[in-house]
Every structure is written in C-alpha cells, then in structure tokens.
Structure 1
C-alpha cells in the first residue's frame, strides 16, 4: 500500500497461512520432505497475495543445492500449470549458496539470517496455490508465511504476476541470451541475473557487461526498447564495480577467485515497465559490441563461455505456463 494511502480503510479481508515451523502453535505443519511438494499458501478469491516470507534452515554444503533445487511454484485459478516457477534462491534474488549481499528493494528483500521476502502483489480471481517443490534428496525445514487479502470484486485491469527461470550456457559474443518470449497483453517488470565464467578475458565481468538488453514489442522487427549495455539495464555504469542495492536495482554478488568470475544483480522497472499488447520478446544481444577487446579475444580463442541463470518477472492479463519454453501463452 502506498504510504500516502495508509490512512484509508478498505473493505478487504486479511488472510494468512503459516508453513514448515511445527515447534509452536501449529505442531501439525510438515517439513518439506525429499522429492516432494508442499503447499505453503492456498486461498480462494477474488484476492491478492501481499507477502511471501521464507527462511530455509539449511547450512554449509547443502545451501547451493537446496537454493537451486527447491522451487517456488504459484498456480492461479485452478490452471494445470504454474505461472510462477523458479528456484527459491533466485526468485528471492538470493544467489551463490546464499552468500549474496543482504538487501532490501521495494519488492524483494533478504535480511539476516537467510530471511527472504517477496512483496510483489499477486492478484487471483478464483484461487491461488503457493507451493514448494523439493527436487533434491534432502529434507528441508524452516519457517514461512503467506499473507493475502480477499477483495470485494475482481477488476478487469488486474493482471497475474509471472516469474520464469532460465539457465543458459552461451558462448559470447556469438550467441544471444533469451530472457522472455510471451504472447498476450502485459508488462515486463524485471529480472534477477547470475553469471559465472572461467574465461580469462571476462575477469571482473569485462565483456559480460557489454550486451544490449533488447525488447521486441508486439512483433516488432527491431527492438523498441534497447538498453545499450547489460550493466546499464541493471542500473549501473561502466561495469559492475561494487556491491550496492536500492529499491530498483542491486549488485548483490561480485567475486573473482581461482580464475572464475561470478556476478549477481537485479533490476525492477517499477517506474517504467515495458508494456506490450500482443507479445514480447526480450534478450541480451552482444553482436553490436564486436569492437570490445575482451569479446574479440574471447571470440578468437573460442572460449567465451558464460553460465547464466535468470528469473524474469512480468504481469500478464491471462495466466500462462511459466515453465521455461520457447513461447509461453
């Protein structure tokens, strides 16, 4: 709720569900067993989820496996598919075994200790189900809650939140990085990105920062919105040089060790989402930066390999399947 509207009373019904923590008022709450699915929030509509909080009691060597191996899935209105589908860590903008910076943006936060929050509104017309999918052989404990409001009516302008996970190993500068391809009406909200490379020419993210972030709107042949530099799209300039966060952009992990470069960053377009009426295709394209020396060297040596992990966030008028594919409908 905007600060300037905190004083307004509304005909909404407050709702909440707890999960995982069975050492208190709810001894019946189960752990997340290996290779299982656990519902952590389920509400009938019309309504809107306001907050998802999660802290997983994982330490040491298990952290990297579980933050990528446990998925958050959100299903709207009894659809047979999830419209939010991403690893827990990446969805909440946490990365690299939970070693990324604690931060607080307007819509996501990571607070000490391992305390993850999502404040992105999730409207639903009939029903919403929020689940954790454990794709590992380890049991997960912790605590979580979901808060929501039941709305007096569904408004035609409401759109469904989507989040999609993609992992891509690409060779720069020859290959592009797909971010999203969706059909329908909506607006692109943001992205969390991780990058890992052992290419010596990409030390300190040289070269990696040179891609253009392109948005092809409603079938356009050329990008309508085109950010001339990957770090520029993510809210920074002249590469990612230091850890930083604010409401809209953050660099939460920077490390060069043992010949491996690692980066994590997020960007939320809260003031200028990319709006589309029929379709959107977004990608990171390096073909116009061939004069860049690190990219030239990597291309000549044939070793410009980068492993990217991305969660894209967008709102769309109709709920669609967010499991990674060429096009989502």
Structure 2
C-alpha cells in the first residue's frame, strides 16, 4: 500500500462529485422525494472511484432498508451493485450503529456517516444512483464521490460488484429445529442444497468480502453452520469448506461480544437469552481473495445440517470481468422489513406451554426432560 501511495503517476487527475451548494451557500445537500431516484454521480471516460461518503436526514427511521444504492459500470443496463443502502455500508435491519472495518465504515455520530474505500474501476463511464423507495422524502442527502480520472482502464481490471440477499430459513432435518443434539441426534449434510446462498457468480474474478446479518428467534447458538465454496463448477465439498460460522468470521467458541478488526469482526451482538436476537458479523478477504475463473457458488448452513430457522441477510462484495450474471429481482420494500422481535413475553409463553406439556406440576423448574 505504501508503495502505491508514494509512486508518482503523471496523467492521473483527482476529482470529486459532491452535494455542495452550487450557489456558494451552506445548503450542501440534495433532496430525494419519496418514490424517486437520483443519480449522485455520472462520470464519463475511464477512472477509479476511490472513496464514497454519505449521510442522510429523513423522517423515515427505516431509510437504511428503504433506500437502494445501485452502481453501473461502462454503460451497462444491469447494475453491478444493488443493495439497501444501510446493509451495503455495514448496518443491518435498518438500524443505526457504529461499524469499523478497512473497506467500509458507519462512522459517528452513531453510525450516521457511511464510508466506502473499495476501489471501483471503470473504463467507459460510471453511474451511481439512489432510489428512495420510502413513503417519506429524504430531506437532506449529503455525499462525496472521490475518484481518479485515468486515460484508460483495461477490461482485464475487475469491476466491483455487491449483492444483497435475504432469506428466512426453514428447518430441514427430520428431528426439527435443534442444535448440539439437544432434541435428538443430528444428521449429516453432504450437499449445499438447503444452505443459505450469499454468492452465485458467473465469470472470472475474486471474492473480497461479506457482511452477514443474522436475526435469531431462539436462544440456541446459530453458528454451527459451515461455509461451503464451489469454484468453477466443482462438486461438493469444493475447494474451501469451513468448520463453523464463527470460524469463518475468524473468531471462536460461540462469541457474543463486539469486536472490530480491519478485516473481520462483530459490529453488533444481542444482549438477550443466549444468542437470541440480531448479530452482525463481517469478513473481508483483502489479503486472501477467493479467486475463480468461471463461476463461484458460496453458501453457508443455517445451523448444522440447516437445522435452525433464522432471518439471514448478507451483502457479498467481489470483483469480476463483465458481463456479469444479472441479480435476482430485489425484494419489494414491504418484503425487506424485519421479522417480529422475540421478547421476554414470548419466552414466558413458551415456558407456559412447556408446563402444560408436563401436566402443570406446581414445582416444575425448567430442567426437567
């Protein structure tokens, strides 16, 4: 990195597109009415976007899911980046909280400042748009797009991509929802068939990161699921096969504490019973990208043998040659809402049903099998 910074490179110009007040005043923002789309950057020629900064003011407290960021390279019609804006920059569930990593950050105050340092090359134009799918206006949308103008960028330079996916997973094992063999013996999973898929890529490139948002409706540890990578059409078990979700995110032994490393960490953890609630994990492969020449299928189990119902959302980040495989249609706004929160009342109701199943004996404690 230092060699890159210190190298003198004539012919490269540093430019910025921002929301500054063109009159010279202090109204340094744009507005995006409800239901409308704004192009915040339209750049001709060749170059590399080096940094993006955004902050938003709106009556809509769920704008991080209701606003969608898209990016297009080289005149393409299908976006190479498409995600709810909060999820893309490292905030799940439409929430505000601080997030720190090397390529992405949600900075103070209270995570309201979005930053990206992913380099985003283009050879023949770039466009970044924001769609406000909210019923409320974005009254103030502030932004910087810092980029370099180059004389040319070769087609061999991979184009940046990011894709948001979300699934409320079902339980597939015959013994029902379980983990650690609590309910009964757990089976084997020699396939990716029922896994949660976070990347399904066609082309040549390298995978460089993931934000992983899990909402767990029960107290059981959610992270026995293995990550599985099938490169260039290979069969299971593939070239890379993990040993558990926390292992994939470079931690160990069922963590439930915030931790921020430039490449991996836990930006948000719950403070409920066990691992019940919302956890945000992240992992960036900046020193160890996962390379592929024809395709990449990346997935993870939701509990060992896909044994848990979880609300999983992810943003995957990678570079690849164009053209790319178009993304599935982004779920509509009303399909991107959070699942209802499981709280102490629900847990008490579960306990009540358990007591009834035990004949309502007066001295039942809770450990009786």
Q: TM-score, normalised by structure 2?
A: 0.76
* Deviation, structure 1 residue 319: 4.1
Aligned residue number for residue 128 of structure 1: 126
Question: In proportion to residue count, which structure has more strand?
Answer: 1
Kindly name which structure, 1 or 2, has the bigger radius of gyration based on alpha carbons.
2
1: distance between equivalents of 2:41 and 2:200? 28
Flag as ranges the 4+ runs of structure 1 deviating above 6 A: 20-23
* Deviation, structure 1 residue 32: 1.2
Unaligned runs of 5+ residues in structure 1 are: none
1: distance between equivalents of 2:164 and 2:252? 26
SS state of the match for residue 30, structure 2?
coil
- Cα distance change of structure 1 residues 244 and 29 upon mapping to structure 2, 3 Å threshold: closer
Report which stretch shifted further, 276-285 or 103-112: 103-112
* Deviation, structure 1 residue 27: 5.4
RMSD value, Cα: 2.4
Unaligned runs of 5+ residues in structure 2 are: 174-193, 331-369
1: distance between equivalents of 2:131 and 2:243? 37
2:262 is aligned with 1:247: yes
2: distance between equivalents of 1:26 and 1:80? 35
2:102 is aligned with 1:86: no
Answer yes or no: is the 8 Å Cα contact 1:22–1:30 preserved in 2.
no
**Which structure's relative contact order is higher, taking Cα pairs within 8 Å and 6+ residues apart?**
1
2:226 is aligned with 1:212: yes
1:173-231 CA-to-partner distances (Å, cap 9, x unmatched) read 6541011111110111111011112124x2xxx0x211111110001002211121111
The 5 A counterparts of 1:1-329 are 2-10=1-9, 11-19=11-19, 25=25, 30-58=30-58, 62-63=60-61, 65-100=62-97, 102-113=98-109, 114-140=112-138, 141-172=140-171, 174=173, 175-200=194-219, 202=220, 206=221, 208-222=222-236, 223-257=238-272, 260-285=276-301, 289=304, 304-320=308-324, 323-324=327-328
2: distance between equivalents of 1:236 and 1:187? 23
- Cα distance change of structure 1 residues 96 and 286 upon mapping to structure 2, 3 Å threshold: closer
- Cα distance change of structure 1 residues 97 and 28 upon mapping to structure 2, 3 Å threshold: closer
1: distance between equivalents of 2:52 and 2:20? 13
- Cα distance change of structure 1 residues 324 and 13 upon mapping to structure 2, 3 Å threshold: same
- Cα distance change of structure 1 residues 226 and 258 upon mapping to structure 2, 3 Å threshold: closer
Aligned residues: 304
2: distance between equivalents of 1:246 and 1:191? 14
